[in-house]
Structure 1
């Protein structure tokens, strides 16, 4: 961000706060005031009085609406990616109050059946996981739990009866959860087979013999124009 190397200091009693200045309106945010600093146009970030970045300083526009002077402008765009299966904790950065969260469930495993003497080969595909994208309110300095679901294990049978592969695991961010895709079933002695149930555009299910479904993911985007 194009911050000036000079700041504004606001003091009331023993409380002193520092406000960053920016060279563009976009960096200051949707609401701003401006001043000249050594001949350079500088923008002061303004916002709601309950904004986590609000200082003790207040300004009023001609309509009578009151704004708080903010410590800093909106954070630059950032994306945190969690793509390996497991459990994580994400802590919301200072100044961030909204985030776009993408949660994808793991893909289901494939199921294969092979009978050498009967020359029967059946492969059923795993289903894809659910995909959920939501804009949510988040609280600075608060931690949120994340689970990235693993892909379902595949099965291979060498007899007249197939077996059901494992479902993909669900992925989640806080209370937002995306189902994993269904595991496939390679059939019985009537040669019937069933692909796993798909729930959306999350992680793909396996379409190859002996290969597990794909791992899900969780993305968190914030700052910029989010």
Structure 2
């Protein structure tokens, strides 16, 4: 009997349930990263397949809020829904916005999840191969290829050559600029911290432990991991 091909929306709803969406609200990034780890071929960035594409989860969760009939009813609740309902009851026409919406399965969604959870799990297991990331179509990206791409990205950074000349030196922001930090981890100043931590874990996993690249990545992380989101604000405050 052939394995059912589940849609992106169905897999995202399954991911929401697996991340705790049957009991409480879950942020989009958590769902997206979880799904990327389970099925990177669908949930990885096209240009950088070693990183998650959170927009896939975001789009599908938003679509799951639309009632498309008996076969595809509304199956999720957004954290702002209750506030919107209360605002309407008060006659308040102001829009209730959520910059980073959180999601939960509604009763229909929980029922659907409980019915299909095991089948989707089997499907995910059937398309996942240990040590291999399946790309779109028939493309497969091996762990070795991912590692090579990460190492190449590190070695292209201008500060890497300087770092290799003296591994024991104490480095500052002038030696290892924040732009190299952003490029190595493939993030920017707006990247949520949980996504940075995921990127950091994958970057370190791609390089050999105690290698020059490993030490360079750790040093960049030491300099900026707790302040990359506020770095430019600090410069402006200092008049830099």
Q: Which band: TM-score by shorter chain? A: under 0.3
TM-score by length of 1: 0.24
RCO comparison, higher one (Cα < 8 Å, 6+):
1
TM-score by length of 2: 0.23
Q: Name the structure with the higher helix share.
A: 2
Q: Name the structure with the higher strand share.
A: 1
